[in-house]
Amino acid sequence: MLKKEELPDCPVATTVQLIGNKWKLLIPRNLRMRPWRFNELQKSLEGISQKVLTESLRSMEADGIIVRTVYAEVPPRVEYSLSELGETMRPILDAMEQWGNNYKSTFH
């Protein structure tokens, strides 16, 4: 997790730094529905490579946005879910979804 002094002064820039790429927006979009396993996420995010998904998940876990839960089973089961902090993104994602739907219905 970044230290406060490492974050940009602008709060919008901070948000963009944490979730400002395509995959870091689409991962929480999925996780707001339910916990997902790695392979489920990869299949649902068309075009994402295993490397990019792994890096994105690790980064978002380090930033406190998602939680990685490992279940002691054979074979081991790992699920990703939104953390308490990640849950606070829900209104942002909902607003983006609403805006996108409005745009599509108005302009296309």
pLDDT digits (tens, 9 = 90+) for 31-69: 999 999 999 999 999 999 999 999 999 999 999 999 999
Q: Give the DSSP per-residue string, 92-108.
A: HHHHHHHHHHHHHHHH-
Residues 6+ apart with CB under 8 A from 63: 1, 2, 18
**90-105 confidence digits (pLDDT tens):** 999 999 999 999 999 9
Q: What is the CATH number of domain 4-102?
A: 1.10.10.10
pLDDT value at residue 8? 84
Mean pLDDT confidence for 70-89: 94
Q: pTM of the full predicted structure?
A: 0.86
Indicate the length of the chain as a whole number: 108
- Helix, strand or coil for residue 35? coil
